[in-house]
Amino acid sequence: MQEQTNRVAIVTGASRGIGAAIAERLAADGLTVVINYAGDVASAEKLARSIEQKGGRALTARADVSDPEAVARLFDAAEAAFGGVDVLVNNAGILQVAALADTSDAEFDRHFAINTRGTFNTLREAARRMRKGGRIVNFSSTTLALNLPGYAVYNATKAAVEAMTHVFAKELRGRDITVNAVAPGPVATDLFLSGKSDELVAQFARMPPLERLGQPDDIANVVAFLVGSGAGWINGQVLRANGGLA
């Protein structure tokens, strides 16, 4: 499908996991993709080469989303290479499961810096620069609906993302830009799997009525829909993609 040729998408945190699947899918749909990453340059470059081998257009751009200047440079790089930005997918995020009482000040700050401020930084840049007709997809989490112990700080960062999603959609009135969020359930990536026993992973996999973990492509499909031509009337919404878990 080449209908979206010439649209330029920045995908944050696209070196691995869900972000990599999104970059691959959007490139296959004909978008030019900017693969943002924080540290894993090898994975980001490998993904870019693989997209190019399939006939797509991709650029890698290192930027810590929690750093506003780095985020401005990320948009600069996209504009310099491709002339503008039409799609922003705010996928970069971290999760450290820990009881609130055991969470250090540094971990609290790190979660808010990347998950919340990172999203704020790119949204503010998008407000200044995104082209008419643009699409923004933020990342929340179904954990917000589950209220499981250990997720207080992570959920707080994602609740803030949902709050910004609803308000920002209205602030962009007149620009023909939609702002939505996806809230995945458990997806088989490093973020979810690391630190969990096989037994705990299996327990999570049994929770949705569809009785499996999500795969990165399940979420990439949802993002592709939200940035595609069929979703133009969806705005300011949070879409829980979780196999019916909550």
Q: Which stretch binds ligand NAP (CB under 6 A): 24-32, 96-104, 180-188, 231-239?
A: 180-188
Q: Which is nearer to ligand NAP, 31 or 61 (CB)?
A: 61
Interstrand relation of 135-139 and 87-90 (parallel, antiparallel or unpaired): parallel
- Three-class secondary structure of residue 8 per DSSP: strand
The answer to whether 151 is a known catalytic residue is no
Look at residues 65, 69, 80 and name the one whose alpha carbon lies nearest to residue 112: 65
Residue 119 touches ligand NAP, criterion: CB under 6 A = no
Helix (H, G, I), strand (E, B) or coil at 52: helix
CA distance 137 to 19: 12
Residue 184 interacting with ligand NAP (CB under 6 A)? yes
What does the DSSP assignment read for 77-114? HHHHHHS---EEEE---------GGG--HHHHHHHIII
Q: In what order do the strands lie in the sheet with 32-37?
A: 58-62, 32-37, 8-11, 87-90, 135-139, 178-184, 238-241
Residue whose pair of structure tokens reads 């006939």 in the numeric block = 55
Backbone angles phi, psi at 180, to 5 degrees: -130, 170
- The piece of 8-16, 81-89, 127-135, 144-152 that touches ligand NAP (CB under 6 A) is 8-16
Nearest distance in Å: CB 141, ligand NAP? 4
Nearer to ligand NAP by C-beta: 156 or 175?
156
Interacting stretch for ligand NAP, rule CB under 6 A, among 53-61, 73-81, 101-109, 183-191? 183-191
Is there binding between residue 208 and ligand NAP (CB under 6 A)? no
Q: Using CB under 6 A, count the residues that bind ligand NAP.
A: 32
Question: Site mask, ligand NAP, residues 61-100, x = CB under 6 A?
Answer: ---xxx------------------------xxxxx-----
Interior CA angle at 154 toward 151 and 102, to 5°? 60
Q: Could you say which of 154, 168, 192, 204 is catalytic?
A: 154
Give the catalytic positions in this structure. 154
Task: Enumerate binding residues for ligand NAP (CB under 6 A).
Answer: 12-19, 36-40, 64-66, 91-95, 114, 118, 139, 141, 184, 186-187, 189-192
